[in-house]
Chain A
Amino acid sequence: MASGERPLIGIVEEVGGLVDLGAYEAHEGYAGARQALTGMTPAEVIALVKDANLRGRGGAGFPTGLKWSFVPQGEASDGGLKYLVCNGDEMEPGTFKDRYLLEYNPHLLVEGMIIGAYAIGAAQGYVFLRGEYHEPYRQLQKAIDDAKARGYLGQNILGSGFDFDLRIHRSAGRYICGEETALLNALEGKRAQPRTKPPFPPASGAWGRPTIVNNVETFCNVPSILRNGVEWYQDLGLGDDAGTKLYGVSGRVNKPGLWELPIGTPIREIIDVHAGGMQDGYKLRGLLPGGASTDFLVEQHFDLAMDYGTIQAAGSRMGTGTMILMDDSICPVDMCRNLEHFFAQESCGFCTPCREGLPWVEQLLTDIEEGRGQPGDLELLDRNAQFIGGVTNTFCLHAPGAIEPLASALKHFREDFEEHIRTGECPYRR
Chain B
Amino acid sequence: MSEPALIPVLSDEEVREIEAECAHLPDRKSAAIDAMMIVQRHRGWVSDESLSAIAHLLGMSVENLDSIATFYNLIFRKPVGRHVVMVCDSVSCYVMGADSLLKRIEAHLGIGLGQTTADGRFTLLPIVCLGACDKAPTMMIGDELIENVDAEQLDGIFGRFE
Contacts and interface: CB of A to CB of B under 8 A. Distances in A.
Interface string B12-54: 0000000000001111011111101100000000000000000
Contact of B130 (A132, A325, A341): A132
Nearest to A208: B26
A218 interface: no
Question: Interface residues of A toward B: which range?
Answer: 35 or more
A292 B127 CA distance: 15
B73 to A, nearest CB: 4
A330 B95 contact: yes
Contacts, number: 134
A96 B134 contact: yes
Contact of A93 (B24, B29, B92): B92
B126 to A, nearest CB: 9
B154 interface: no
Interface stretch (A15-23, A185-193, A305-313): A185-193
Interface stretch (B2-10, B100-108, B113-121, B135-143): B135-143
Contacts of B32: 189-190
Nearest to A255: B134
B95 A325 contact: yes
Given A93-B129, A324-B133, A346-B128, A250 B92 contact: yes
A94 to B, nearest CB: 5
A397 interface: no
Interface string A333-368: 001001101100110100000000000000000000
Nearest to B144: A134
A169 B25 CA distance: 11
Nearest to B91: A93
A175 interface: yes
A95 interface: yes
Contact of A95 (B34, B94, B131, B135): B131
Contact of A190 (B68, B73, B86, B144): B68
Interface in A371-403: none
Contacts of B149: none
6 contacts: A99-B132, A132-B140, A134-B143, A330-B95, A335-B91, A342-B90
The 8 closest A-B pairs by CB, nearest first: A172-B72, A250-B133, A189-B32, A93-B90, A256-B134, A173-B74, A250-B92, A93-B129
Interface of B: 24-27, 29-34, 36-37, 67-68, 71-75, 86, 89-92, 94-96, 127-136, 140, 143-145
